[in-house]
């Protein structure tokens, strides 16, 4: 019973002072149902609304992805935050409410929902952005149903584990709990040591430390440890426990966290090499009992080279099988406790095993009392037999009996191995986690999850967050496509495992009535395992021989351009079958450029194991191949590196530059032979003939004008040839001679030409595969540019890696293309005035210049009837406006300019303003009059006010309005283009240390299908230079040419003979596939501009292309 005055509060759902504001459930209404929600808005949630899910994986999971203080910051930025109520979470609902959150069960309104642990499939709202630890990126079987649900429900799935500084897997993580695992693990371990020491008969101050979860805060736990430390400092430890040595493995966040806790105790840091000296003193001195000795060990203290060489960190992490553990003999015997926080997988030697513990116990050297294995690898780098729990965090391992017990009173070594330690410190862990995450959330919450691949705002997310998007729009993102292949491989291996067990149970492997282990070998593969589909091929080969595979470790590459590493155990019923499997795997790997080695046997290998102890190549014996590379520029490096991945290849590099060719020999070793040679010099004929005759394939990377002479040599000696340059008329004229000699001369296998041709042909082939498909428009654009962050130092947004004159001459080329069925022609003097804008990926603003004669390629592409066919060059926005002014002022004219004749004849180097005024026929009495005359001259050239201002500014930047002398290289003085070239040779116009270049390519194809549907396809390539490595231009040109050369080396027959371009499927399919394996791939998207209609209603459609815009006007016109 209530008084009437309380009815208002009850009916309106007003909360009391002690209750959070919780959204009310719908009520039955006498005059109809509650107004329906806007289902269209709620289908994918509302942008700007973030949901915080309640954790329910286990009772100890009290963390949250953001704390109340983070909610307050988000609300102040204009976001709405809805938090599911929870009575278990470390932060109360009231704390969140006071920070501005709405507390309610229903998260339907949220476009983005954050959690910590995996979300039950039935609670995974569709069409949302979900961010949590998904445990799917290694194709973990337990996580695959969740991944399937995310794909089916078109969830944009973001994983905290993948948020890194670089946006690439394996980069430094930005959102993690590592330190807190170390904090909690060390606190719990000290508590266990106190109880264990008591069982051994010794009371210590450690007994007064509790488990981490028993404290209300990390600060309180640290205070308890510090109090124990004060007692040790004052009263000491029992002499029988001293010197107390604590050894820490690794230098990561986990180890740093555990070290921070141990350093609250009185301590001294000692070098690992000094541990044995501490132990040799017998019982410690009185002083030593009042502190702990802490020692940090890294890989160099844990292993040694098998052949006795010096420790090499880079080699150890790439070829760990070349090293063996010494930890068990140099560190373990002198350790009281070991805190293991380092990364480890099965490629690496173990620190110590059960046998090592047993050996030391039997010899009486059982100093080790405890192991805190925070990494929790079952029987991994240390012999952890089982995982423990927060409720029961310890077990004791008896090395004499090989048994474990949970009683801390029993003999043995204490082990602590809890695998979810950060949840013991939920408040601080959540606050730290939210601090890391906070800056990324607004951009993630700003829009709905994309409902189709490539749509939405994912491309505009911050790089660290963009690289953590595993799936969106019902598909895995590019960097995570490998998951499905790895998953399929895991499934097949599980099936093979079951099949093998069935054979064992039937006695199939019992030839003499006794079960024997199968023949077995360890293999290691390094390379592009997923893009090349090699991992599937390996499984096919093993299955064909009735063998089986056990993957020991898989290190998936951080990007599609990096290499993955696989360690696996291959087993067969007989040694002959095993050898056959290994031979086939080696051949398959060789075909796709993947390195394979037979690993040394390890402790965990079954016996008998047929493993060769030495490291060797598994590639079947191949005849040696020799490649002659003519030219030693930037492109040569990536090309040579690719060719030398095949052990049978050797390379001869010939160039006039001694320093460059010898540098390649020094970089790549004995398989590169340097030759200093003027390639076409008359007096070098004998040397030239000898080099060509000794080669299997010739790769010409010299200037294009020299290719024809080299091609004649190749034809004379019946050698195939590869170039990255356009086919000239002179080269095409050699076709008959090449065919008569049975020689293949493949040209245009670089970037542009090269990748542009092949990707365009593949795109056209796919789009026109249906009957009666009509191509309405095709355009192809490409440019080599500075990366955006490097472009700002140049007013042109351009950097020169070669002579600026070539770029200036290209700005004077005439152009032809077809537009809306009409031939368009532009004289070279008007090229810059006909640029069009293009915005790519909503970020990159370009000018598009017509590129020479596009119509010549329409026939080559099979698009002679296409109404619009265009090829263009990309420059950053503003390049054309500035260069147009330069052109209108006559600064690009080749000369001799009559107005400059007197200056040139004088023999004096004039001031820049004097030379410029003479060129224009203007007085140069003073700066003001020259500027006024300049403005009038530019203004009368039909340019806009903005172009005039930009042009005047650029002329000033060139120094042409100053009294500075012209550069000494500005000759001849009566050639304006040569003087302009000299003025552009400034440091701002060259790549400085640390700056990188970029390659941009863009295709657009519009087709009309027989059913009337009109479809627009685009393909985009954005490639950046490697950090401290090859330029983007060098990689795209060099790798493309190298792949073509390798295909010819392997088998030239499928390609035929004669002078060719890579326009046929035989070329573009394998080359593009291998480029994809190098991380160079066009990102294709398809957009329906007009839906299908009945055939009877179909009418011809002619589209006007208009200006080249990123957002095509075609949809609007249709």
Are 784 and 1097 a contacting pair, CB within 8 Å? no
Q: How far is CA 945 from the centre of its chain?
A: 44
Could you tell me whether strands 625-630 and 649-655 are parallel, antiparallel, or unpaired per DSSP bridges?
A: parallel
Which residues have C-beta within 8 Å of that of residue 88, sequence separation ≥ 6? 55, 59, 61, 62
Cβ pair 268, 291 in contact under 8 A? yes
Q: How far, in whole angstroms, is CA 674 from its chain's centroid?
A: 34
CB atoms closer than 10 angstroms to residue 183 = 28
Indicate if 576 belongs to the active site: no
Nearest to 51 by CA among 42, 60, 59: 42
The CA–CA distances, whole Å, from 221 to 67, 225, 432, 434, 886 equal 20, 6, 17, 21, 71
Long-range contacts of 32-39 (CB under 8 A, 24+ apart): 37/108
Q: Find how far residue 1062's CA is from the centre of its chain.
A: 29
Which contiguous run of DSSP H or E holds residue 245?
A: strand 244-249
Upstream peptide bond of 972 is cis (omega within 30 degrees of 0):
yes
Q: Nearest to residue 130, comparing CAs of 616, 518, 468?
A: 468
What is the arrangement of strands in the sheet containing 519-527, beginning at the earlier edge strand?
Answer: 548-555, 564-572, 519-527, 595-598
Do residues 885 and 955 lie in contact, with contact meaning Cβ atoms separated by under 8 Å? yes
CA atoms in the 13 A half-sphere facing the CB of 316: 21
- The secondary structure of 363-374 as a DSSP string is TT-----EEEET
Q: What is the 3-state secondary structure (H, E, C) of 772-840?
A: CCEEEEEEEEEEEEECHHHHCCCCCCCCCCCCHHHHHHHCCCCEEEEECCEEEEECHHHCHHHCEEEEE
Secondary structure of residue 224 in the 3-state scheme: helix
Residue 777 and residue 868 in contact, taking contact as beta carbons nearer than 8 Å: yes
DSSP string, 675-714: EE--TT-GGGHHHHHHHHHH-SEEEE-S-GGGHHHHHHHH
What is the widest separation between alpha-carbon atoms in the chain? 115
Q: How far is CA 875 from CA 414, 805, 837, 881, in A?
A: 66, 16, 10, 11
CB 644 within 8 A of CB 624: no
In whole angstroms, give the CA distance from residue 779 to residue 1001: 11
- Report d(CA 389, CA 382) in Å as an integer: 18
Give first-to-last CA distance, the chain, whole Å: 69
Spatial separation of the C-alpha atoms in residues 760 and 782, rounded to whole Å: 12
Beta strands (DSSP E) in 1025-1082 are 1058-1060
- The active-site residue out of 288, 696, 752, 847 is 752
Distance CA(428)–CA(723), nearest Å, equals 61
Phi and psi of 656, rounded to 5°?
-75, -15
Q: How many residues would you count in the chain?
A: 1118
CA distance 24 to 366: 65
d(CA 515, CA 744): 57
Please count the CA atoms within 13 angstroms of the CA of 238 that sit on its side-chain side. Answer: 12
Which are the catalytic amino acids? 752
């Amino acid at each position: 019973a209530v008084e009437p005055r309380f009815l208002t509060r009850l009916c309106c759902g007003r909360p009391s002072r002690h209750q959070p504001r919780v959204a009310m459930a719908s009520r039955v209404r006498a005059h109809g149902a509650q107004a329906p929600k806007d289902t269209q808005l709620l289908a994918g949630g509302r942008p700007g609304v973030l949901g915080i899910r309640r954790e329910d994986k286990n009772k100890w999971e009290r963390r949250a992805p953001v704390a109340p203080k983070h909610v307050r910051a988000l609300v102040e930025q204009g976001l709405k935050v809805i938090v599911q109520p929870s009575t278990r979470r470390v932060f109360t609902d009231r704390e969140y409410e006071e920070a501005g959150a709405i507390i309610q069960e229903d998260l339907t309104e949220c476009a983005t929902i954050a959690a910590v642990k995996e979300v039950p499939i039935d609670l995974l709202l569709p069409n949302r952005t979900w961010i949590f630890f998904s445990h799917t990126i290694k194709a973990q079987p337990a996580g695959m149903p969740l991944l399937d649900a995310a794909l089916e429900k078109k969830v944009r799935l973001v994983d905290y584990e993948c948020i890194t500084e670089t946006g690439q897997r394996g980069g430094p993580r930005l959102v993690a709990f590592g330190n807190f695992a170390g904090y909690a693990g060390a606190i719990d371990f000290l508590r266990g040591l106190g109880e264990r020491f008591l069982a051994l008969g010794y009371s210590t101050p450690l007994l007064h430390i509790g488990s981490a979860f028993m404290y209300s805060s990390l600060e309180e736990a640290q205070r308890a440890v510090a109090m124990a430390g004060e007692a040790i400092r004052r009263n000491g430890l029992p002499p029988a426990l001293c010197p107390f040595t604590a050894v820490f493995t690794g230098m990561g966040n986990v180890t740093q966290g555990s070290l921070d806790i141990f350093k609250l105790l009185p301590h001294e840091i000692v070098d690992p090499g000094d541990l044995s000296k501490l132990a040799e003193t017998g019982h410690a001195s009185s002083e030593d009992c009042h502190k702990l000795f802490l020692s940090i060990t890294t890989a160099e203290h844990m292993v040694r080279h098998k052949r006795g060489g010096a420790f090499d960190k880079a080699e150890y992490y790439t070829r760990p099988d070349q090293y063996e553990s010494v930890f068990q003999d140099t560190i373990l015997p002198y350790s009281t406790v070991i805190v293991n926080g380092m990364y480890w997988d099965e490629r690496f030697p173990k620190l110590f095993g059960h046998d090592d513990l047993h050996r030391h116990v039997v010899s009486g050297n059982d100093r080790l009392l405890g192991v805190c294995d925070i990494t929790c690898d079952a029987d991994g780098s240390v012999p952890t037999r089982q995982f423990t729990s927060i409720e029961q965090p310890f077990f004791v391992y008896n090395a004499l009996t090989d048994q474990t017990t949970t009683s801390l009173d029993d003999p043995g070594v204490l082990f602590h191995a809890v695998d979810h330690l950060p949840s013991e410190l939920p408040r601080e862990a959540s606050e730290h986690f939210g601090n890391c995450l906070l800056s990324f959330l607004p951009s993630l919450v700003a829009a709905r999850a994309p409902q189709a691949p490539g749509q939405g705002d994912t491309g505009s997310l911050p790089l660290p967050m963009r690289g953590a998007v595993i799936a969106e729009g019902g598909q895995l993102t590019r960097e995570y496509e490998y998951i499905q292949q790895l998953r399929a491989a895991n499934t097949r291996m599980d099936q093979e495992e079951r099949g093998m067990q069935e054979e064992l149970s039937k006695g199939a492997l019992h030839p003499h009535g006794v079960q024997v282990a199968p023949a077995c070998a360890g293999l290691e593969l390094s390379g592009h395992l997923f893009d090349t589909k090699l991992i599937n091929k390996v499984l096919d080969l093993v299955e064909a021989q009735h063998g089986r595979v056990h993957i020991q470790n898989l290190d998936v590459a951080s990007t599609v351009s990096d290499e993955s590493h696989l360690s696996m155990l291959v087993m067969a019923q007989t040694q002959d079958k095993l050898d056959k499997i290994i031979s086939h795997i080696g051949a398959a790997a060789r075909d796709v450029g993947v390195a394979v080695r037979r690993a040394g046997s390890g402790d965990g290998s079954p016996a008998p194991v047929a493993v060769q102890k030495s490291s060797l190549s598994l590639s079947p014996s191949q005849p040696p191949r020799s490649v002659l590379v003519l030219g030693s520029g930037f492109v040569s490096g990536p090309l040579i590196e690719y060719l030398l991945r095949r052990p049978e290849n050797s390379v001869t590099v010939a160039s006039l530059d001694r320093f460059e060719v010898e540098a390649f020999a020094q970089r790549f070793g004995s398989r590169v032979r340097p030759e200093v040679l003027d390639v076409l010099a008359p007096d070098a004929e004998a040397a030239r003939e000898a080099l060509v005759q000794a080669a299997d394939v010739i790769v010409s990377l010299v200037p294009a004008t020299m290719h024809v002479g080299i091609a004649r040599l190749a034809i004379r000696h019946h050698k195939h040839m590869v170039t990255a340059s356009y086919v000239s008329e002179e080269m095409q004229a050699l076709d008959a001679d090449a065919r008569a000699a049975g020689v293949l001369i493949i040209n245009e296998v670089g970037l542009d030409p090269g990748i542009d041709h092949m990707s365009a042909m593949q795109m056209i082939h796919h789009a026109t595969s249906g009957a009666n498909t009509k191509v309405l428009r095709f355009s192809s654009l490409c440019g080599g540019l500075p990366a955006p962050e490097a472009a700002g130092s140049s007013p042109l947004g351009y950097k020169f890696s070669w002579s600026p004159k070539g770029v200036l001459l290209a700005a004077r080329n005439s152009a032809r293309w077809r537009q809306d069925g009409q031939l368009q022609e532009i004289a070279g003097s008007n090229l810059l005035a006909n640029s069009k804008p293009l915005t790519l990926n909503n970020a990159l603003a370009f000018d598009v210049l017509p590129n020479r004669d596009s119509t010549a390629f329409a026939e080559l592409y099979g698009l002679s009837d296409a109404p619009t066919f265009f090829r263009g060059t990309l420059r950053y926005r503003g390049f054309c406006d500035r260069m147009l002014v330069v052109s209108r002022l006559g600064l690009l004219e080749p000369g001799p300019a009559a107005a400059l004749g007197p200056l040139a004849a004088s023999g004096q180097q004039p001031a820049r303003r004097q030379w410029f005024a003479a060129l224009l026929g203007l007085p140069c009495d003073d700066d003001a009059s020259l500027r006024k005359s300049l403005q009038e001259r530019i203004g009368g050239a039909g340019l806009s006010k903005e172009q005039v201002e930009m042009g005047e500014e650029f002329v000033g930047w060139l120094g042409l309005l100053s009294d500075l002398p012209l550069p000494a290289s500005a000759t001849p003085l009566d050639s304006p283009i040569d003087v302009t070239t000299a003025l552009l040779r400034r440091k701002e116009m060259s790549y400085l240390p640390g700056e990188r270049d970029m390659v941009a390519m863009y295709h657009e194809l519009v087709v009309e299908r027989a059913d009337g549907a009109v479809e627009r396809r685009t393909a985009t390539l954005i490639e950046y230079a490697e950090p401290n490595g090859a330029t983007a231009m060098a990689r795209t040109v060099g790798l493309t040419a190298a792949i073509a050369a390798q295909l010819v080396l392997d088998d030239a027959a499928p390609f035929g003979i004669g002078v060719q371009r890579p326009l046929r499927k035989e070329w573009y399919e394998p080359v593009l596939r291998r480029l994809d394996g190098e991380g160079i791939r066009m990102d294709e998207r398809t957009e329906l501009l007009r839906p299908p209609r009945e055939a009877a209603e179909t009418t011809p459609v002619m589209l006007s292309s208009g200006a080249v815009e990123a957002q095509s006007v075609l949809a609007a016109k249709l």
